[in-house]
Chains A and B, each alone.
Chain A
């Protein structure tokens, strides 16, 4: 019975949402226009805020004392801030590791025919490692250095299109205008869809459906859960549509881990749905709720948290802003940020969702005895 009732409410809500097709249609169109306009005007001003470390693989087979000195040099904390270092075996296929994108730079240091050599292969033209290795050869004096400025671009171009290559390699992980606003504008605009959650709650009251629902043999949990799931999936679907259209029409870069991207979409949709439901319960008015949603979801969360600015800044608001954390995770997965950034962002989104769910539950329980 639990599943049937919840499914009934779920299907009903989904059908109702799709009937009011002009709402998502206008959101999708407006978002694409905003992405295009802002992306074109503010080209090259953007920073992701993601600390994109250069991933470096080291094969060190030099003789004593250079082997130890070389290893010691990379143990410094300063270098660890900009490099993510992994020690590799001498029989690794360096070319393949670079082509697969597992490393940005690989250092092969070895002793052969009576001399030490360092071979640096990198996809970063301005790799930090090049400067470090050059500095080491000058200090050590006896080491010959061979620099190989990763030449096999054809293989990379087969793997990525030119646009992604540009953002991944030339821009060193920072997006161009359309890519940046593809993410942040979408997160900002989609907040407006919280209005469908407002309708889901207030329809019962404005259309006087409340007495019928309350006298039906169905629990409040089933009603709320059915509607919430329907609205979350609906908003997620709209997010996927916007992301796909932005990619196809404007060429916005979404080339990250799709599972992470989808998780962010679902968590963000859940938070937006809860924002709509909470404002509906508190204001009991569609117009006032729309004001709350626009104020919080489209202004407070993105603007005052630094989630919309093309420059990197974070404020106190950042911690409670789902836009900020969603942006961080999306940029981290698209532009080679660390797993830690992705994990932290997802945890924050999850916490915000839990807090909002608790607030909604408290309000809902306090209203449970409302009269008709």
Chain B
């Protein structure tokens, strides 16, 4: 079942074309990554999908129905984790989650159950009485998620939920997202941290200048660029004839020396032969590092820029 479908979505802010004919499908149960640098249009796309913002042309369907500002039956199944922290800092964590859940029609015992479930899920139940202004950055991010999932949404939209937090909290959040997905939620995850998107998402859309410039699984995206990888070998003694020997090995595209490192661009799995050639040339290997094509490389090859530009 298609959970989210956009067709030729266009959004302008004055002269700026924020979304340029965006076509975008999300299947039920997927974790879909929206990857792109700041200003690529990720947040605008999310705000149009959720009807926070209007759009100039095109269409958005969620759960097979047209998404509108007054589509309350659709909205009750959506949870949004905004990029900026979105809760009342002077109200207890419990009070915050309770208030936002009550906007979805929960009340009484059911409301309390949902709040407890959400706070336990993000590991904040023990600290529920504290005001979020006293929380650490990671705890605030987790509360931001709890406020979005307490009503058990079928579609969770997360706009850069791990910005500015420590690795431990980041891992906790990423684990939570996987758990949510296992429990049946479809997830849209935007980030400019390609490592997160790479480890988390089954399907990735790369955005730039308001357009989706590439879309597919990780493997599909990497294959779009190249199936080559780079072998980086740090050596103590480098023989002058080593380059010629390595270049003759089947699958090696390029080989060169950069200071005390030997860099070999190759296609296929012929590392053993390269290492053997180094040994025969009496080279002393300090370290070996295989550098595969990343989403960063994909983005660079598509746009000529890095994600953090």
B263 CB, nearest partner CB in chain A, Å:
45
* Binding-face segment, B86-94, B169-177, B190-198: B86-94
Contact partner, A217, options B52, B75, B82, B148, Cβ 8 Å? B75
A320 CB, nearest partner CB in chain B, Å:
34
Count of interface residues, chain B, beta-carbon cutoff 8 Å: 34
B53 within 8 A of A: yes
Count of interface residues, chain A, beta-carbon cutoff 8 Å: 25
Report chain B residues within 8 Å CB of A19. Answer: 90
Report chain A residues within 8 Å CB of B69. Answer: 368
A141 within 8 A of B: no
Given contacts A369-B53, A372-B47, contact A219 B86 (CB under 8 A): no
Question: Which residues 256-272 of B have a CB within 8 angstroms of A?
Answer: none
A202-244 vs B: 1/0 string, CB under 8 Å? 0100011111111111110000000000000000000000000
Given contacts A213-B103, A216-B103, contact A208 B50 (CB under 8 A): no
Main secondary structure of the interface of B (DSSP, over half): loop
A371 within 8 A of B: yes
Given contacts A216-B75, A217-B75, A371-B47, contact A209 B103 (CB under 8 A): no
Report chain A residues within 8 Å CB of B51. Answer: 214-215
B159-194 vs A: 1/0 string, CB under 8 Å? 000000000000000000000000000000000000
Report chain B residues within 8 Å CB of A217. Answer: 72-73, 75-76, 103-105
Report chain A residues within 8 Å CB of B104. Answer: 216-217
Report chain A residues within 8 Å CB of B147. Answer: 212
Given contacts A369-B54, A371-B52, A371-B53, contact A211 B105 (CB under 8 A): no
B225 within 8 A of A: no
Given contacts A1-B105, A4-B105, A372-B47, contact A209 B53 (CB under 8 A): no
Report chain A residues within 8 Å CB of B76. Answer: 217
A343 within 8 A of B: no
Question: Which residues 300-315 of A have a CB within 8 angstroms of B?
Answer: none
Report chain A residues within 8 Å CB of B72. Answer: 217-219
Report chain A residues within 8 Å CB of B100. Answer: 212, 216
List of 3 A-B pairs having minimum Cβ-Cβ separation, nearest first: A217-B72, A216-B103, A217-B75
